[in-house]
Structure 1
Amino acid sequence: MIGVAQTARVALSAAFDYVLKRGAFGKPLMEQAVVRNRLARCGSELESLSVWVDQLVYTMYKAKDHGAPPELGGLLALAKARAGIVLDECARCAVLLFGGNGYTRTGQGELMEKLYREVPAARIPGGSEDVMFDLAIRQLVKSYRNNARAMGKEKL
């Protein structure tokens, strides 16, 4: 999860650097509103994932002394699935911003081509995203019902 988030950051950083230098229509690509919007959307997804991963790492660190919360497994499954999705979004964004250079195995687009080609290698070994989402929801529903019972709300 941490490595996948870092790979997404590398892709987005390379795209950011590229659009600052690359010109089109007489000005740098970064001056195009659609380019800035695409970077902002991927950046917000990546930053949200990074904060979530940091929080989960902290929770796991504290769990060694205080025990893991029952919903931790579900949250980890959600984050693991989300990390692959965010990597896919960031890598796709980077390749699109690199344009034709994003498909070349040499030159300016070499890194993007490799990262984009390896996205499935990061997503597939993590397990089926649908299965991880289902696991997470089942565990969270169980935790919710247990908490509701403890508060005297038996019908949930």
Structure 2
Amino acid sequence: MKREAFGKTLMEQPVVRHRLAKAGAELETLGAWVEQFVYQMTKLTKAEADVELGGLTAMAKAKAGMVLDECARCAVLLFGGNGFTKTGQGETAERIYREVNGLRIPGGSEDVMLDLAIRQLVKNYKNKTKTLERPRGSSKI
């Protein structure tokens, strides 16, 4: 709101608003996903939640790290040179950008989380579609 470029505040620049909108959309999407998990965890039994939500939770953990990285990059770009200083207006953006990889690691490697997620989702898909199959030799009606 304060920084100016080309005679306008950054917020008056369409490209800046677009970048902020993309970061905001990522955050809102992740927030909605987490709310959906919490709701399902209150409605499903533990056994059902373990089967249904395990892979999706791993995927959400990986996505959270990706969203954090994207938002940190966006903040540093918008703060410009201030985004690299440890004091002043950009200090929070600089700290998050510097620490983003350290914050992503404890949740588990994204590659491992995504692999776990897809293996669980494929397993659930196979189990659910197996119950829909007709026994061999049954009529088509």
TM-score normalized by the length of structure 1: 0.81
| RMSD after superposition | 1.7
Q: Give the greater-gyration-radius structure (CA).
A: 2
CA distance in 1, matches of 2:46, 2:124: 21
Output one character per residue of 1:24-44: Cα deviation in whole Å (capped at 9) or x when no partner: 111111111110111111111
**Residue ranges of structure 1 left out of the alignment (5+ in a row):** 1-19
- SS in structure 2 of the partner of residue 21 of structure 1: coil
- 1:108 equivalent in structure 2: 89
1:89 aligned to which of 65, 70, 74: 70
- 1:134 equivalent in structure 2: 115
The alignment status of 1:119 with 2:100, answered yes or no, reads yes
Q: Does 1 or 2 have the higher relative contact order (CA < 8 Å, sep 6+)?
A: 1
2:8 aligned to which of 17, 27, 31: 27
- 1:55 equivalent in structure 2: 36
**Residue ranges of structure 2 left out of the alignment (5+ in a row):** 136-141
Q: What fraction of aligned residue pairs are identical, expressed as a percent?
A: 66
Q: 1:59 to 1:67 in 2, by over 3 A?
A: same
What's the offset of the Cα at 1:64? 4.8
Output one character per residue of 1:100-132: Cα deviation in whole Å (capped at 9) or x when no partner: 000000111111111111111221111111111
Give the count of matched residue pairs.
135
Q: Which amino acid aligns with 1:122?
A: L
What's the offset of the Cα at 1:22? 1.4
